[in-house]
Amino acid sequence: MSAASAPSRVAVIVAVLLAAGSGLSAAPPRPVTDLDGRAVNPFAGAPATVLIFTAVDCPISDRYAPEVRRLAGRFRDAGVATWIVYANAGELPAAAGAHAAAFAYGLPVALDPDGQLAAQARTAVTPEAAVFDAAGRLAYHGRIDDRYVDFGVDRPVPTSHDLADAVAAVVVGVAVPRPSMPAVGCAIVRQRP
């Protein structure tokens, strides 16, 4: 190995480690399926895309509906696309649509019954959020805020607004300071092989 190649290898290793630490994924997410069974790409044309993973039977997700609506309005003003994603295996389009209407999300809805999008977004529970930058790279995944400390333990008012902070960072093009925060919620049910 020449002396000139050693620094370049070190630079490549450092770049890879920095990218891994930043929380960004290299591969853009795949298109999602909407309630009508059409493949749609929610990641085109926005400075950021927010996916809120939810379920028709998760009380913690249901309690976050007002906050999701509030944040989606705030994000919309910045040109950010926000989607509700039903990721449990076996959740039917009719049930997801009825749930989204009952909680007045007023947002586009996607289905992820095979869990591929949830896996790419590195989400495991509902509610959990994922933020993708304009290039479709994962910039943040985790809790919406710190309202829930544990099951049955919540704060009257959150003290940390992780999702809003992540979106603000992505929109202005800076690294998200905490690209992953643990979420408290209902486990996403994966399809069994």
Q: Is this model's pTM higher than 0.85 or not?
A: no
Cis peptide bond prior to 31, omega within 30° of 0: no
Task: Just give the CATH number of 5-187.
Answer: 3.40.30.10
Q: What's the pLDDT score for residue 192?
A: 58
**Count of helix runs (H) and strand runs (E) in the chain:** 5, 12
Please report, for the chain, the start and end positions of each structural domain, with discontinuous segments joined by +. 5-187
Q: What's the pLDDT score for residue 180?
A: 95
Q: How far is CA 175 from CA 56, 66, 80, 140, 146, in A?
A: 33, 28, 17, 10, 20
Q: What's the pLDDT score for residue 188?
A: 94
DSSP strand pairing (180-181 vs 138-142): parallel
Strand partners, 154: 148
Pull the structure tokens for residue 186: 């209902």
> What tens-digit pLDDT sequence spans the chain (193 residues)?
444 433 333 222 223 223 334 455 555 566 778 898 898 888 778 899 999 999 999 999 999 999 999 999 999 988 999 999 998 998 999 999 999 999 999 999 999 988 888 998 999 999 999 999 998 899 999 999 999 888 888 888 888 999 999 999 999 999 999 999 999 999 999 875 5
